[in-house]
């Protein structure tokens, strides 16, 4: 059966992530040790032991999730649960997770991807510090209604996550105004997100400018498995397509709902989320309750799939 692999984005980090697989999988251990060497500090210890307030900083959270996700994928490869490209029809990653997907698909080396992700996180943290801003989940309104509210309040749609769940992003005062309007117009809930700034909005323009030359200089190869892009919800394979995607991704909304519908429309019925948390499998079940969606977010979860 064809499978799609999904990789989570920022917000899925938790202290202790990856510790179990580091102790059990030689392939996973090699990735964590290599990450410590490349970055020049103990990212592995930060993942395993915290402190939480340091781990959740954007410049740390992004490489931490990236490495942990690839470590679980490496462990899954050792067991034979996942063999790339055999049986893997598509990959997709939510925001940061798109970089993880590109490394998993063979389009970018691990070391180069890790450096890009670390710099992406640093640039996003800096842009967030320059303008007080944030994000919020709007539940229970359709896309047209949320788009109208964003235009009125001066914020932007950041993520189309699934039916009735859209994330908005922008400066703090405008975001509060948008939340107030959304409640007045029937939103079931408006939930502020615990992030450092307005990701996937104009607030990230300085980060996009800083990241662009690094993306252009990165040594991309054709992906062995198509990666369904956040910006277009369509597959990308060539280095030119990948660079065009990553230049825009940090500013544009993540079309996750549309990406999942595209993959399902190609006949894929089995999805495996690889990395900390189970957010993407939860979203997928809302998009199509009929698909099979499992998560490899721990050694125990991997063991259940093996058995």
State the catalytic residues. Answer: 95, 200
Q: Would you call 190 helix, strand, or coil by DSSP?
A: strand
Peptide bond into 195 cis (omega under 30): no
Rounded Cα distance between 283 and 123, Å, is 28
Q: Are the beta carbons of 266 and 89 closer than 8 angstroms?
A: yes
| β-pair partners for 190 | 138
Q: Would you call 35 helix, strand, or coil by DSSP?
A: helix
* Structure-token pair, residue 98: 């798109």
Give all strands of the β-sheet with 156-162 in edge-to-edge order: 156-162, 165-171, 133-139, 189-192
Give all strands of the β-sheet with 227-228 in edge-to-edge order: 235-236, 227-228, 88-93, 3-7, 270-274, 292-296
How many residues can be counted in the chain? Answer: 307
* Structure-token pair, residue 229: 């892009």
Rounded Cα distance between 50 and 164, Å, is 34
* Structure-token pair, residue 236: 């990308």
Q: Are the beta carbons of 65 and 12 closer than 8 angstroms?
A: yes
| Residue 98 CB neighbour total at 10 angstroms | 25
DSSP 254: B
Rounded Cα distance between 61 and 17, Å, is 11
Residue partners of 282: CB distance under 8 A and separation at least 6: none
């Amino acid at each position: 059966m064809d499978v799609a692999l999904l990789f989570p984005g920022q917000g899925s980090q938790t202290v202790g992530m990856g510790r179990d697989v580091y102790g059990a999988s030689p392939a996973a251990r090699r990735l964590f040790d290599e990450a410590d060497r490349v970055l020049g500090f103990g990212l592995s210890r930060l993942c395993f032991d915290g402190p939480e307030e340091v781990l959740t900083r954007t410049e740390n959270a992004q490489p931490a999730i990236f490495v942990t996700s690839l470590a679980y994928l490496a462990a899954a490869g050792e067991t034979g649960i996942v063999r790339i490209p055999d049986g893997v029809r598509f990959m997709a990653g939510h925001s940061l997770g798109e970089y993880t997907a590109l490394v998993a698909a063979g389009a970018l080396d691990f070391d180069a991807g890790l450096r890009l992700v670390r710099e992406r996180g640093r640039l996003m943290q800096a842009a967030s510090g320059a303008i007080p801003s944030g994000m919020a989940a709007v539940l229970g309104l359709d896309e047209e209604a949320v788009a109208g509210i964003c235009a009125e309040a001066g914020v932007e749609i950041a993520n189309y996550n699934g039916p009735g769940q859209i994330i908005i992003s922008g400066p703090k005062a405008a975001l509060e105004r948008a939340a107030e309007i959304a409640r007045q117009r029937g939103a079931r809930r408006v939930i502020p997100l615990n992030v450092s700034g307005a990701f996937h909005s104009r607030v990230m323009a300085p980060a996009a400018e800083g990241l662009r030359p690094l993306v252009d200089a990165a040594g991309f190869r054709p992906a062995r498995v198509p990666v369904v892009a956040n910006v277009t919800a369509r597959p990308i394979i060539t280095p030119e397509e990948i660079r065009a995607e990553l230049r825009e991704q940090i500013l544009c909304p993540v079309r996750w709902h549309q990406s999942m519908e595209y993959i399902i429309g190609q006949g894929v019925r089995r999805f495996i989320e690889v990395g900390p948390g189970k957010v993407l499998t939860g979203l997928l079940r809302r998009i199509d309750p009929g698909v099979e969606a499992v998560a490899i977010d721990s050694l125990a979860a991997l063991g259940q799939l093996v058995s």
